[in-house]
Chains A and B, each alone.
Chain A
């Protein structure tokens, strides 16, 4: 069953009276139980798609459905991990998580319990009282993930969650993400992640949607039927990665013609 369905979504920004087409005729679905990755070059409009799904943006044309109904704004069943963490500097780790629960009117006792549970889950116990400025990049993104999970969404949106991190930390967090996803501990139904890192997409996703450069159109999609945990040096892995690469390249060739 499709949780999200986008039908012929178009979006144009207007800046200094110049029209800038960002999304062109985007149609895609996010199915229940899948880990979907959208890859595309920088500035193509990946974040814009997530902003539409999470209800931040509304000035698109076309249809966005959630479980067959028009996507409510805001949609309380989705939550988001930000590229640059977006932690509130004057709140501690625990408070940063509690505030989104408070916004959803979770009672105080339960807020604390839930916050601590997810802090534990991402391995940040004993850092509850630290301020974001006192954390490393990897730890900040763990808070971002814990916060997004704490509202127990059906769909988790992730906007290049690992691209602001160093390679080792990113690899580490990616593996933990797989573990979490596989463990079944989460009430999560689907994950939609946006990235420009194709290896990352093949490592994580069940299915990859490839976008062209701006204005974003869908070039094609690739299924990744590999068992998890995956190995970058695996032959099947490399084949799929090559496939994704060639798709991205072909998109670029078509553009330049």
Chain B
């Protein structure tokens, strides 16, 4: 019974955060894609947000929300939803942005030539065109939300521990009681909920999303009942027109209200930033922590790089299979969404306790893998599914096989999505590293050196904590900008498949 209420609470949190993510992702993505002047800066902001190790910033966010609500329960609740939101929304926003940027020119000209008003074009062309991306990225987003559930329900502030009712808390309680059946049952519940969601909602949606692909051939997919139900619900709640209005506002940032909001937010952010800098620059400096940062970053980076490479290699065979048939791709999507939702973080402490300190290095990389592999798999197979069939047919016709097929056709063709996969895996692994290096189980503590354990050990000193998180974020963003993005740009230009 306890499990049922817990499941209810957790599901509500994940779904609420997901709805917010959808709204945010759509509005932000459209606004960024449709305004050449704000495009660059909005993208850069999104890039930074996506790279921020959420778990590292969570204590900061919780403090803010709790202060805002003067310690009321709603503050914690919002903080939890916010954490899940940050794990879900960025990739939806990116997906939406990309779809609009690559929207076929014909469709744009169609709406101009037949004088569609901007609102009409958004409602009837832009929003539907986003369906495939949104459905696909929802897979990662849902899995991610569940993955971070644990962290969001157990909130420690200084010496106070607040536990929100939910599966994460329940599981943690079972774990500390040593109740294995309870832990397994909770995991089972998470898997069950996700499997049901997949079966009833997302799998039919994935098939249906086929309909929205430009230049597809063959029989149209069936119109699933979920879509009817969801769209009836959406119409009843007036979600569609609200969304259109929201998007139109985001699109017309020049409208006075939007400008006002934008300016207020930027001013507040700037003030907060300056205040933060000033505070960081006032002595005393936490030198003892500062000198440890560089070495810690290097050690963790090595683990993260190992995790990224392994993720990409494990994902590759799945991706290759999903090129061959849409059916397989859809199955992989379902499997990945269900399995990716298992909060592996939970198993980690007992495993480390069993395996002992000497094997922790190895298991920490395994944990990083659970944080990075799903990203790699989702992004790579999404790219693979969108490959034009003519490419593989061409290879067949000319008898290109074996090593040559991989080297000259397959790898180049999936290089852009492969890079996206690696990039997101890189972010995911860093995030997981925060929990991977410091483990408390029962009365014993296990630790390996790295930025994650440094972060945990400096929670007492908030200045040190923020400096550690900032250093980590700076490194991730720098590598994104200097390495991943340029590489992606070059690959996308060279191996561009859309004409």
Contacts and interface: CB of A to CB of B under 8 A. Distances in A.
Interface of A: 51, 54-56, 74, 76, 79-80, 82, 84-86, 88-90, 99-100, 102-104, 131, 133-134, 151
B120 A55 contact: no
Contact of A89 (B113, B124, B216, B219): B216
Contacts of A131: 211, 220
**Chain B, interface size: which category?**
20 to 34
A151 B215 contact: no
B493 interface: no
A143 B112 CA distance: 18
Interface stretch (B34-42, B63-71, B102-110, B471-479): B102-110
A131 B104 CA distance: 18
A88 B125 contact: yes
Contacts of A51: 109
B212 interface: yes
A73 to B, nearest CB: 9
Contacts of A56: 109, 112-113
B275 interface: no
Contact of A103 (B106, B120, B220): B120
Nearest to A100: B114
27 contacts: A54-B113, A55-B112, A55-B113, A56-B109, A56-B112, A74-B112, A74-B113, A79-B114, A82-B109, A82-B110, A86-B104, A86-B107, A86-B109, A86-B110, A88-B125, A88-B128, A89-B216, A90-B128, A90-B211, A100-B114, A103-B114, A103-B116, A103-B117, A131-B211, A133-B219, A134-B218, A151-B114
Interface string B202-221: 00000000011111111110
A103 B115 CA distance: 7
Enumerate the 8 nearest inter-chain pairs by beta-carbon distance, A residue then B residue, closest first: A74-B115, A86-B106, A131-B220, A100-B114, A80-B113, A56-B112, A54-B113, A86-B110
Given A82-B109, A86-B104, 5 more contacts: A89-B213, A89-B215, A104-B114, A131-B211, A133-B220
Nearest to A151: B114
Contacts of B215: 89
Could you say which of B125, B214, B216, B217 has the most chain A C-beta atoms within 10 Å of its C-beta? B214
A53 B335 CA distance: 52
Nearest to A85: B106
A102 B111 CA distance: 12
B221 to A, nearest CB: 9
A133 B124 contact: no
A83 to B, nearest CB: 9
A99 B220 CA distance: 19
Nearest to B112: A56
Nearest to B117: A103
B117 A133 contact: no
A99 B110 CA distance: 11
A84 B217 CA distance: 14
Nearest to B129: A90
B216 A133 contact: yes
A133 B115 contact: no
A133 B212 CA distance: 10
A80 B112 CA distance: 10
Nearest to B125: A88
Given A76-B115, A104-B115, A134-B219, A89 B110 contact: no
Contacts of A74: 112-113, 115
Given A131-B220, A134-B220, A84 B115 contact: no
B227 to A, nearest CB: 11
A141 B354 CA distance: 68
Contacts of A84: 106
Interface in B116-131: 116-117, 120, 124-125, 128, 131
B124 to A, nearest CB: 6
Nearest to A84: B106
Could you say which of B106, B212, B219 has the most chain A C-beta atoms within 10 Å of its C-beta? B106
Nearest to A130: B220
A80 B108 CA distance: 13
B445 to A, nearest CB: 55
A104 B115 CA distance: 8
A30 to B, nearest CB: 16
B181 to A, nearest CB: 48
Contacts of B116: 103
A39 B120 CA distance: 35
A89 B114 contact: no
B489 to A, nearest CB: 15
Could you say which of A74, A133, A134 has the most chain B C-beta atoms within 10 Å of its C-beta? A133
Contact of A133 (B110, B120, B128, B218): B218
A81 to B, nearest CB: 10
B117 to A, nearest CB: 7
A45 to B, nearest CB: 16
Nearest to B208: A90
Contacts of B124: 88, 99
